[in-house]
Amino acid sequence: MASSSPTPPSLQLPPSSPEHTPFSSKSEPLSPRSPPSPPRPAISLQQPTNKKGPSKSAKLFRRFRAVFRSFPIITPTCKIPVSLHGNRLHDGHIHGGTRMTGTLFGHRKARINLAIQENPSSLPILLLELTISTGKLLQDMGMGLVRIALECEKKPNEKTKIVDEPIWTMYCNGRKSGYGVKREPTDEDLIVMQILRVISMGAGVLPDDGTEHPDGELTYMRSHFERVIGSKDSETYYMMNPDGNSGPELTIFFVRI
């Protein structure tokens, strides 16, 4: 009679405990999560009445932009004596002009942008980037009248609208101060316009996402502008001061010569 083999002892696992589990090690404290960024506002800006397709200068701008970004920010002197009350328009209105909304905005140490809109709720019809820092230009405007002339070369049989020229030589109060470039609005530009759509006039600092920007705060100044078309080769934008006793503090001339 065959003898039966001894029954092997049963294998038993030690009872699991919070400190010892088969598939986990000792728990580590979780690092605190950074607060979520505020949601971006939905863009509800309206198309301007005279909006057309993308400008023919868009391709040229994209090629030029990489070079333009390498230019240093020019700090113009802008110290031509200007009376705070003389040589200004008494009624704050340019007769025969069209009233527009103009916004100067940018980080204090970065290049300033100028957006022209039909009204605060419309998409920009003109967006310029100038080689002047935002803080410097706004400081100079606080000291007196600032005139910016943007000049480009006139070509034979010119058919391009003057505000559709891609690049300009810029003069501030008669002193050459770098360049101005027309560009298409970016998502960040549209967000600024969306936030400011309820503001017709004013200045201040826009809220950020909680991070410190290396170029400083994002500041803006918005006002009414009078657009005066002299000819196909000249156009002027006069910023209207809300003070009834003062005229514009900023005038921008577009000239083809």
Domain limits of the chain? Answer: 98-256
Place of tokens 């994209």: 62
Say how many C-beta atoms besides its own lie within 10 A of residue 152's C-beta. Answer: 18
What pLDDT is stored for residue 94 in this prediction? 53
239 with 100: CB under 8 angstroms? no
The yes-or-no verdict on residue 114 having pLDDT over 70 is: yes
pLDDT tens-digit map of 189-210: 999 999 999 999 999 999 876 6
In angstroms, rounded to a whole number, what is the distance separating the alpha carbons of residues 225 and 205?
21
What is residue 137's predicted lDDT score, i.e. its pLDDT?
93
Of the segments 10-14, 216-220, 247-251, which one has the largest average pLDDT value? 216-220
Q: Are 131 and 148 in contact (CB under 8 A)?
A: no
Q: What is the mean pLDDT of residues 175-185?
A: 94
CB neighbourhood size of 255 (10 A): 19
What's the CA gap between 124 and 102, in Å, rounded?
9
Q: Does 122 have pLDDT greater than 80?
A: yes
Q: Is 150 exposed, middle or buried (0-12, 13-18, 19+ CB in 10 A)?
A: buried
Which two three-digit tokens encode residue 121? Answer: 């709720």
